[in-house]
Chain A
């Protein structure tokens, strides 16, 4: 299994500002994913981030709003730009096991509140 850490664990931000969330994995992984979990809701995939290529965004999410970096095989960042209260969510990164069955491991999440 992979151990994943995220920073910050939580933050309260003002509307119009940006926040960068870091995701660190204890082993090299090819696939990293960023999910959003709005209050009381399930997880929605924001984008898939592979090292060495541009992130692939899901419908409804755009790079200008959620720029992602993936500089190496153990690290990724997600920025939430020009925030509004609707961006208040838990943001989780996950990594694929790489093996058959596509098991994924999740970080503890970053709880973001936008005022």
Chain B
């Protein structure tokens, strides 16, 4: 069965520092891959997605993610974090169009001054 692992439950970074959030998936083929962000009291917002083509994908708010098939990973990065990036980040996997997504447990990002 497909699974999604986000190894880091909490991450703290200083404002202006770079960020990398890890995501690993388990699935026999290349799944559809997503990163969502959930700010306190807010719904989920899609940051970016990958399902084919260029393995480095650009998203909103300055985020990017790289799909590495050999490592079954889809890590999220941002070169310079802003205080407003503090939120919960979820990696999700979809195996087939029209089917529900399988979410990782999430990584809580804290940004310090």
Contact = CB atoms under 8 A, between A and B. Distances in A.
A42 B51 contact: no
A67 interface: no
B56 interface: no
Contacts of B94: 101-102, 104
Nearest to B106: A42
For chain B, which range describes its interface: under 10, 10 to 19, 20 to 34, or 35 or more residues? 20 to 34
A42 B104 contact: yes
B90 A43 contact: yes
A44 B102 CA distance: 8
Contact of B43 (A100, A101, A103, A107): A107
Contact of B103 (A42, A100, A102): A42
A42 B23 CA distance: 14
B51 A109 contact: no
B63 interface: no
Given A42-B105, A42-B106, A100-B51, A31 B98 contact: yes
For chain A, which range describes its interface: under 10, 10 to 19, 20 to 34, or 35 or more residues? 20 to 34
Contacts of A92: 43-44
B9 to A, nearest CB: 10
Given A100-B51, A109-B43, A30 B98 contact: yes
B34 A103 contact: yes
B105 A102 contact: no
A96 B104 contact: no
13 contacts: A43-B103, A45-B100, A48-B100, A96-B98, A98-B98, A100-B51, A101-B51, A102-B32, A103-B34, A103-B49, A104-B100, A104-B101, A105-B46
Shortest 8 CB-CB distances between A and B: which pairs?
A108-B43, A101-B51, A106-B44, A102-B94, A102-B97, A43-B103, A42-B105, A45-B100
Given A102-B96, A103-B46, 16 more contacts: A35-B100, A41-B105, A42-B90, A42-B105, A42-B106, A43-B90, A44-B103, A45-B102, A48-B99, A92-B43, A99-B97, A102-B51, A104-B46, A105-B46, A106-B45, A108-B42
